[in-house]
């Protein structure tokens, strides 16, 4: 089934937003020896597919716009430091659905890698309700929005009219689609550059938030080996009685688990439990990338 002009127009504007953001992310990664993976680049040897696809804890695949990796190379997938999505919406009535789509793409993958606490961010352009933005923030996303009029004005400076209203007929939208599809690579680059300049404040703020999360430094690592045997009580009163008279044993019992707490200088805190030392070591080694 052929796409409607409205859908195709929105798709192309979203792709241009992604293209405008990429150089800012690439510069940040180059400055800090991080690897930026994006579907816009050629397939890398570590992932022959044309999409940037990551699996969640259940094995479900999720296509993402940008992933920043620690230790990533063209030949090897690194440790995810950030998952970043972009989106365009013309009308607020669609913004809630888009927020849910973004959450469904990023949150399951971020949960799988929660032990390294990756950054989750979205750069949005167009019209979004305050409730949809707050929904994303409440789920841990850093959100930055570029106003609709900013985007319209950038395209207008190239004599391209992308404006539309909810009742705009498809016959009136098709010429806008045709104009965008006829753009050369050089023209797309120029539009992306001008959009990046017009939204420099929003993009710089987003990069600052990204930097604060990714460039955090470990302040301390606590390791608590837990020994002993479990005592189960049928009543709260019996459990309290044990605690009141509890005296630590002179010799520890069998190892139950290691509790590891990693604290960062920005206040972030990661807590993980491991049944053996080898798994705890593997966990801590992931922070050395």
* 114, 56 contact by CB (below 8 A): no
Residue 2 has pLDDT above 70, yes or no: no
Residues 99 and 161 in one domain: yes
pLDDT for residue 285: 76
Which are the contacts of 154, defined by CB distance < 8 A and separation ≥ 6?
191, 194, 195, 198
Distance CA 237, CA 11 (A): 63
- Lowest-confidence pick of 34-43, 155-164, 177-186, 202-211: 34-43
Residue 264: CA count within 13 A, CB half-sphere:
15
Percent of the chain with pLDDT over 70: 96
Q: Once rounded to an integer, what is the mean pLDDT over residues 177-190?
A: 94
Q: Are residues 177 and 273 in the same domain?
A: no
Same domain, 120 and 50: yes
Sign of the Cα torsion 128, 129, 130, 132 reads: negative
Which range in 43-52, 200-209, 217-226, 258-267 is most confidently predicted, on average pLDDT? 200-209
Residue with tokens 């352009």: 125
Residues 27 and 156 in one domain: yes
Q: pTM to 2 decimals?
A: 0.82
Same domain, 274 and 162: no
pLDDT tens per residue across span 230-271: 777 777 687 778 778 777 777 667 778 888 888 888 788 888
Domain boundary residue, one of 172, 187, 214 = 214
Please check whether residues 17 and 40 belong to one and the same domain.
yes
Give the domain extent around 235. Answer: 218-288
Q: In CATH, what number is assigned to the domain containing residue 142?
A: 3.40.1350.10
Residue among 102, 154, 109 at smallest CA distance from 128: 102
Task: Give the pLDDT confidence of 192-204 residue by residue, as tens digits.
Answer: 999 999 999 999 9
Rank 78-92, 162-176, 259-273 by mean pLDDT and report only the highest. Answer: 78-92
Confidence of residue 102 (pLDDT cuts 50, 70, 90): very high
Tally of domains within the chain: 2
Final residue of a domain: which of 214, 229, 262?
214
pLDDT in tens, 148-159: 999 999 999 999
- Cα(7)–Cα(30) distance, integer angstroms: 35
The pLDDT-based confidence of 160 (bands split at 50, 70, 90) is: very high
Alpha carbon of residue 50 to chain centroid: 19
Q: What is the mean pLDDT of the chain?
A: 89
CA-angle at 227, arms to 225 and 228, nearest 5°: 165
Q: Which residue has the higher pLDDT, 248 or 130?
A: 130
Reduced to 3 states (helix: H, G, I; strand: E, B; else coil), residue 83 is strand
Same domain, 159 and 279: no
CA 231 to chain centre: 42
Of the candidate ranges 76-80, 87-91, 219-223, the one whose mean pLDDT is the lowest:
219-223
Cα 218 from Cα 129, distance rounded (Å): 37
- Is the predicted pLDDT of residue 1 greater than 60, yes or no? no
Which pair of structure tokens corresponds to residue 70? 């620690």
Helices (H), the chain: 5-31, 95-112, 130-138, 148-156, 170-181, 185-198, 200-214, 236-244, 277-285
CA distance linking residue 16 with residue 122, whole number of Å:
15
């Amino acid at each position: 089934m052929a796409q409607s002009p409205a859908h195709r127009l929105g798709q192309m504007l979203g792709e241009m937003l992604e293209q405008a953001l990429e150089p800012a992310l690439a510069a940040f990664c180059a400055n800090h020896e991080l690897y930026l993976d994006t579907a816009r680049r050629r397939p890398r040897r570590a992932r022959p597919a044309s999409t940037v696809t990551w699996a969640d804890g259940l094995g479900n695949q999720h296509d993402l716009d940008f992933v920043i990796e620690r230790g990533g190379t063209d030949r090897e997938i690194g440790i995810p430091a950030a998952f970043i999505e972009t989106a365009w919406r013309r009308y607020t009535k669609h913004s809630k659905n888009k927020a849910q789509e973004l959450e469904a793409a990023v949150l399951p993958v971020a949960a799988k890698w929660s032990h390294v606490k990756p950054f989750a961010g979205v750069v949005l352009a167009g019209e979004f309700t305050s409730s949809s933005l707050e929904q994303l923030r409440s789920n841990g996303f850093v959100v930055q929005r570029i106003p609709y009029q900013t985007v319209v004005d950038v395209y207008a400076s190239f004599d391209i009219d992308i404006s539309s209203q909810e009742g705009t007929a498809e016959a009136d939208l098709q010429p806008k689609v045709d104009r965008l599809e006829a753009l050369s690579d050089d023209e797309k680059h120029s539009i992306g550059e001008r959009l990046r300049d017009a939204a420099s404040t929003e993009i710089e703020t987003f990069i600052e938030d990204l930097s604060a999360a990714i460039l955090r430094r470990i302040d301390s690592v606590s390791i608590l080996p837990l020994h002993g045997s479990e005592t189960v009580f049928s009543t709260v009163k019996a459990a309290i009685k044990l605690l009141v008279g509890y005296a630590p044993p002179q010799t520890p019992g069998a190892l139950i688990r290691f509790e590891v707490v990693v604290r960062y200088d920005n206040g972030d805190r990661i807590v993980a439990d491991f049944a053996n030392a080898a798994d705890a070591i593997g966990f801590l080694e992931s922070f050395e990338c």
